Amino acid sequence: MTSPRPSPRTPHRSALIIFAKAPIPGQVKTRLCPPLTPDEAATLHGSFVLDTVERSKAAIAKFKLPLDRYLSCAPSSAHVFFKILEERHGVTLIDQIGEDIGMRMHHSFDNLLSKGYQLVLLIGTDVPSLPLEHYQQALAVLGSHDLVLAPALDGGYFLIGLKRPAPELFTGIPWSTDRVLSRTQEKAAALGLKTALLPPWRDVDTIEDIQALIEASAADAARPKKDHVFSSRTSGALQLIAKRLKTRTS
In a domain, 80, yes or no: yes
Cβ neighbours for 66, distance < 8 A, ≥ 6 positions apart: 12, 13, 14
Q: Name the more confident of 9 and 17.
A: 17
In a domain, 217, yes or no: no
Query: At residue 3, does pLDDT exceed 90?
Result: no
pLDDT in tens, 13-69: 899 999 999 999 999 999 999 999 999 999 999 999 999 999 999 999 999 999 999
Query: At residue 225, does pLDDT exceed 70?
Result: yes
Angle between helix 133-142 and 38-63 (nearest 10): 60
Q: What are phi and psi of 196, to 5 degrees?
A: -125, 145
pLDDT in tens, 145-184: 999 999 999 999 999 999 999 999 999 999 999 999 999 9
pLDDT band at 8 (very low <50, low <70, confident <90, very high): very low
Show the DSSP H helices in 157-206 as ranges.
180-191
In a domain, 247, yes or no: no
Nearest to 51 by CA among 162, 125, 122: 125
Strand partners, 21: 74
- Range of the structural domain that residue 18 is part of: 14-202
Strand 14-21 to 119-123 pairing? parallel
- Output the pLDDT for position 12: 57
pLDDT in tens, 11-21: 458 999 999 99
In a domain, 70, yes or no: yes
Q: Name the more confident of 85 and 4.
A: 85
pLDDT in tens, 89-109: 999 999 999 999 999 999 999
Averaged pLDDT of the chain: 93
Beta-carbon count within 10 A of 145 CB: 17
Taking the C-alpha atoms of residue 178 and residue 205, their distance in angstroms, rounded to an integer, is: 12
pLDDT (mean) for 101-118: 97
Tell me if residue 176 falls in helix, strand or coil.
coil
State the chain's maximal CA–CA distance in angstroms.
Answer: 61
In a domain, 180, yes or no: yes
In a domain, 143, yes or no: yes
In a domain, 65, yes or no: yes
pTM: 0.93
Taking the C-alpha atoms of residue 74 and residue 151, their distance in angstroms, rounded to an integer, is: 23
Provide the CATH number for the domain around residue 41. 3.90.550.10
- Output the pLDDT for position 219: 95
pLDDT (mean) for 121-135: 97
Instruction: Tally the domains of the chain.
Output: 1
Taking the C-alpha atoms of residue 178 and residue 100, their distance in angstroms, rounded to an integer, is: 17
In a domain, 236, yes or no: no
